[in-house]
Amino acid sequence: MKSGVGVELDNLSIRFGDFTAVRNASVTIEQGEFFSFLGPSGCGKTTILRTVSGFQEPSEGVVRIGGQDVAGMGPNKRPTALIFQNLALFPLMKVWENIAFSLEVKGVPRAERRKRADELLELIALPDQGDKLVDELSGGQRQRVAVARALAAEPQVLLLDEPLSALDLKLRQHMRTELRAIQQRVGLTFIYITHDQGEALTMSDHVAVMREGVIEQVGDGKQIYDDPATAFVASFVGENNAFAGTVKSVNNGHAVVSTAAGDLPARIATAARGALQPGDSAMVFVRPENLAVAESGAGGDNHFAATVANEEFEGQSYHVFLKAEGGSEIKMTLTNQGQSRAPSVGAAVTLSYNPDQAVALPSGALSDQE
Amino acid sequence: MNIGTLARKFFEKNGVGMALFMMFGVSFWILFLIVLPQLTMVDFSFRFKLPPDAIGGPQDVYTTTNYEYFVNGNPGNIDGWNRVDVTVFWRTLIAALFVTIFNFVVCYPIAYYMAKVATGSWARLLALSLVVPYWINEILRAFAFRIIFGDAGLINTVLKTIGVIDSSIDFIRADVALYAGLGYAYILLMIFPLYSAIESLDKNQIEAARDMGSPWWRIHWRIVMPFAKAGITSGCTMVFMLSAGALAAPQILGGPSSLWFTQIIYQGFFEYFNWNRGAAYAIILLVSCMIIVLSIMKLFRVKMGEIGR
């Protein structure tokens, strides 16, 4: 099997008539890494994938695969293989014929095709299933057959377009682990498209978060989650409590933002260093798991008052829904450590957080929506 | 479940009025439009041709004379067998087969284009322009072809004007007009089953095959055609049956020396007034066509149920 190669998007723009699907996207994907494009539907991530695979030509910019500009090269000529969202397995062919289709195209003799298909069936842990029809397999098995079929073409880059979206939750979580394991075994570059942040964070070496055709941040899972570059990334990836306000003071990488819930201190996100000045409109994000109930009477900058509106017990944790002063809705997650119960509904509590775990960001485009 | 319960359920589900109406409609259709005419033909074909007053008399018995005549012809003829009828019979079947293949070759790309390439109002316009010619009567269309292919017709005039030929080509005698007319007559019956079969194919399958390096012909051979197999069979069956059974087109467009088997059947009925022989010939054609269609379906492993879809 060939080894993976890197993929580079250089200032890529893709337009359909008046509509710009992708705007000035630049990303370097290292060879052999698992790279995800994460974003809500319609953000242009599938368009990027189709451009890398050759089904779509960019309006501007360059795609380089293994350092080579692939402009004008058709999908059949590129060292990429695409796994479609609906898998697009051929229903009238047997499983092994599906897997060996790219070899059939190359004119490989039948016996050798069969042998290669059986090897790949072994790799995806589906031995002896080659003579079945695709319809006779379960969703997860079909998924793996699609991977095997793509691998049979000996691509250097595997492109996956939300291939897990049709599976139920349990299977999806299982397939995440499995896909990651296959990727590490074969050492190819995987480019993965998803709107599911859990998938992106668990599987990827690096994630690009997209919104309306623009790549807002590229980083590893921890960077994206803990140090979002924009207000959109902060609110799209994971759950976050957002407080909008104006910067009151900036000091040593931290800002204090005046919000309806009070003056809240927070660390300024790396991407926003130097961009926040007193008087700017800004947002403070605090994750539900970083909030805690402070002892009554406790005070300080990193405290604010709220009323419990509802709570859900989820076994490992309590989700507590609160209303802060000024009306913003707050979610707090408390780990179940055997405490008798979370604060009861209607109770007035004081919440606190560690300012280093809160992030301050310019409101940016997100504020126009509110 | 017995018949009584079934009937009661049927009436309850559909309402008495609708249930009665449906029962009447379906039984009229099956009995009077399908079973009885065919049975009458079969019955006719096994009887002698008799003067009206002898029908039902002692001479009116079952016989295979009419079928024997198809093979042997008149007693004591020069060949010892019915050379004319048998030759015309085979030629008709083979010609119908060629018309079918020709039709498929022409219609497949059109159907594929309409189903997978053309979009929006352009696709609807195409579908409409396929239907429009059928607003004109079949016989008038055949005459139109005669005019187009005639000695001083459009094609000959154009070819002569641009200097490709010096004297007119006799398209009618060469049966070109006939095949073109037959091919055109049933184009719709080929395109629509193909179109609806190809239309339901997931476009991703085509792209997946392309992504795996497949050239266009292999995509069609391995992905599109197997998927559209039922539509292909249904289109080909209709075109074959109708071409073999066509009368107007061969009558109007056929050359002087070429007979279509339906014309012989027609002669049996209306020129020799031998309805019994005409019926026997019609049954021979029907049964042969059915055998051919069923064997082709068997060859391509298409089940009857798939075609009905």
For the domain that residue A349 is a member of, what is the CATH number? 2.40.50.140
Helix H, strand E, coil C: the string for B263-294 is: HHHHHHHHCCCCHHHHHHHHHHHHHHHHHHHH
Beta strand A80-83 with A157-161: parallel, antiparallel or unpaired? parallel
Residues of chain A contacting B210 with CB distance shorter than 8 Å: 74-76
- Say if A104 falls within a structural domain: yes
- Say if B232 falls within a structural domain: yes
Q: Are residues A296 and A246 in the same domain?
A: yes
- Say if A2 falls within a structural domain: no
Q: How many beta-carbon contacts under 8 Å exist across A and B?
A: 58
pLDDT at A267: 93
End-to-end CA distance of chain B: 28
Residues of A with CB under 8 A from a CB of B: 53-55, 74-77, 80-82, 84-86, 88, 90-93, 101-102, 104-106, 149, 153
**Tens of pLDDT along B15-50?**
888 989 999 999 999 999 989 999 999 998 898 888
**Tens of pLDDT along A108-140?**
999 999 999 999 998 888 888 899 999 999 888
**Tens of pLDDT along B62-107?**
888 889 888 888 877 787 788 888 989 998 999 999 999 999 999 9
- Say if B64 falls within a structural domain: no
Closest-CA distance of chain B to residue A154, Å: 10
- Say if B211 falls within a structural domain: yes
Contact between B226 and A55 using a beta-carbon 8 Å cutoff:
no
CATH classification of the domain holding A180: 3.40.50.300
pLDDT at A370: 37
Closest-CA distance of chain B to residue A97, Å: 11
pLDDT at A182: 86
Report whether pLDDT(A296) > 80: no
Vertex B195: Cα angle to B190 and B199 (nearest 5): 160
Contact between B213 and A106 using a beta-carbon 8 Å cutoff:
yes
Of A205, A226, A247, the residue at which a domain comes to its end is: A226
Contact between B212 and A93 using a beta-carbon 8 Å cutoff:
no
Report whether pLDDT(A298) > 70: no
Closest-CA distance of chain A to residue B117, Å: 15
Q: Are residues A214 and A240 in the same domain?
A: no
Q: Is A169 exposed, middle or buried (0-12, 13-18, 19+ CB in 10 A)?
A: exposed
Residues of chain A contacting B208 with CB distance shorter than 8 Å: 82, 84, 88, 90
Q: Please count the structural domains in chain A.
A: 2
Report whether pLDDT(A364) > 80: no
B194 contacts B235 by C-beta, under 8 angstroms = yes
Contact between A102 and B202 using a beta-carbon 8 Å cutoff:
no
CA distance A103 to A153: 7
Q: Are residues A221 and A247 in the same domain?
A: no
Among the partner residues B205, B211, B222, nearest to A53 by beta-carbon distance: B211
pLDDT at A105: 92
Q: CA–CA distance from A293 to each of A89, A169, A262, A335, A351 (Å)? A: 52, 32, 16, 12, 5
Q: Are residues A48 and A135 in the same domain?
A: yes
Q: Are residues A50 and A102 in the same domain?
A: yes
Percent of chain A with pLDDT over 90: 50
Report whether pLDDT(B245) > 50: yes
Q: Return the minimum-mean-pLDDT range out of A53-62, A203-212, A339-348, B289-298.
A: A339-348
Of A161, A195, A226, the residue at which a domain comes to its end is: A226
- Say if B12 falls within a structural domain: no
pLDDT at B39: 92
Nearest CA in chain A to B213: A76
Closest-CA distance of chain A to residue B129, Å: 29
Residue-range definition of the domain harbouring residue B101: 86-303
Q: Please count the structural domains in chain B.
A: 1
Percent of chain B with pLDDT over 70: 98
Q: Given the structure tokens 């775990």, which residue do they identify?
A: A357
Among the partner residues A75, A91, A92, nearest to B210 by beta-carbon distance: A75
Report whether pLDDT(A1) > 70: no
Report whether pLDDT(A242) > 80: yes
The secondary structure of residue A3, as a DSSP letter, is P
**A167/A369: higher pLDDT:** A167
Q: Are residues A122 and A214 in the same domain?
A: yes
pLDDT at A369: 41
Q: Are residues A193 and A237 in the same domain?
A: no
Q: Are residues A203 and A100 in the same domain?
A: yes
pLDDT at B286: 92
Q: Return the minimum-mean-pLDDT range out of A109-113, B87-91, B287-291, B299-303.
A: B299-303
Report whether pLDDT(A279) > 50: yes
Q: Are residues A160 and A238 in the same domain?
A: no
For A87, list phi and psi in degrees, rounded to 5. Answer: 70, -40
**Tens of pLDDT along B155-180?**
888 988 888 888 888 888 888 888 88
CATH classification of the domain holding B243: 1.10.3720.10
Q: Are residues A23 and A114 in the same domain?
A: yes
pLDDT at A59: 93
Of A226, A252, A281, the residue at which a domain comes to its end is: A226
Short-list B45, B212, B17, B219, CA closest to B116: B219
Residues of chain B contacting A80 with CB distance shorter than 8 Å: 211
Best residue of B202, B203, B211, B222 to probe chain A, by most A CBs closer than 10 Å: B211
Q: Return the minimum-mean-pLDDT range out of A219-223, B209-213, B270-274.
A: B270-274
Best residue of A84, A99, A151 to probe chain B, by most B CBs closer than 10 Å: A84
Best residue of B212, B218, B229 to probe chain A, by most A CBs closer than 10 Å: B212
Q: Are residues A240 and A173 in the same domain?
A: no
Nearest CA in chain B to A105: B214
- Say if A1 falls within a structural domain: no
- Say if A60 falls within a structural domain: yes
Closest-CA distance of chain A to residue B303, Å: 15
Contact between B222 and A55 using a beta-carbon 8 Å cutoff:
no
Residues of B with CB under 8 A from a CB of A: 202, 204-205, 207-215, 218, 222-223, 226-227
pLDDT at A340: 63
Residue-range definition of the domain harbouring residue A294: 233-369
Closest-CA distance of chain B to residue A129, Å: 21
Report whether pLDDT(B252) > 60: yes
Residues 6+ apart with CB under 8 A from B66: B45, B46, B276, B277, B279, B280, B281
**Tens of pLDDT along B105-128?**
999 999 999 999 988 889 889 888
Q: Is this complex's ipTM strictly greater than 0.90?
A: no
Q: Is B17 exposed, middle or buried (0-12, 13-18, 19+ CB in 10 A)?
A: exposed
Residue A161 backbone class (left: φ over 0; alpha: ψ -120 to 50; beta: rest): beta
Q: Are residues A59 and A195 in the same domain?
A: yes
Residues of chain A contacting B225 with CB distance shorter than 8 Å: none
Residues of chain A contacting B207 with CB distance shorter than 8 Å: 55, 75, 82, 84, 88
